[in-house]
Homo-oligomer: A and B are copies of this chain.
């Protein structure tokens, strides 16, 4: 019974063995719950049940639900920014970076579902600034990439907005089951169609 395993650090337990949780555990579990049920469904007691614990633990780590939401969103924003920076340094060619951005749509499922959940309540005072910062950062990344391809500033901004809007809308269609998932039949051809239409055809005749 007496597990005398000397556990010096208390940060390595995920959520299965020891019911000793850190604030990071609560934040990550909160993000998972947000991805599944939405921001409005982030409640303390259901989250505690999910972790196999009671809310007495929660109110020791956090002053309240608002603080949990705030710090979980900050954590998610940092992760998203790191991924974006990695994308910036991944491929030298801007066209390859854009194509990779499009292809990434169906990967990083958790991040995408969290982003959609945040889009669902843009009026929340804790969600709105994070959402705006993340979206602005991603739009700037796309705008810079298109500008590197030779488009002027206005056209690059418009094309970036168009690509990003198609990305967000594709996530919605995917959740509704009306767009093919990654690995499904027809997914690759659609991705190629998007890249052909939005990335490769960078100089279309505007004048009729």
Contacts and interface: CB of A to CB of B under 8 A. Distances in A.
A164 B171 CA distance: 12
Contacts of A196: 204-206
Interface string A142-171: 000000000000110011011011111110
Interface string A43-58: 0000000000000000
Interface range on chain A (Cβ under 8 Å from partner) = 35 or more
Number of copies: 2
Contacts of A198: 162, 197
Contact of A136 (B167, B178, B197): B178
Contacts of A139: 178
Interface stretch (A17-25, A82-90, A115-123): A115-123
Q: Chain A contact residues: over half helix, strand or loop, or mixed?
A: helix
A122 to B, nearest CB: 5
Contacts of A176: 119, 122, 128, 131-132, 135
Given A128-B176, A135-B178, A192-B206, 11 more contacts: A38-B120, A38-B121, A132-B178, A158-B194, A162-B190, A162-B194, A165-B179, A167-B169, A168-B172, A168-B173, A197-B198
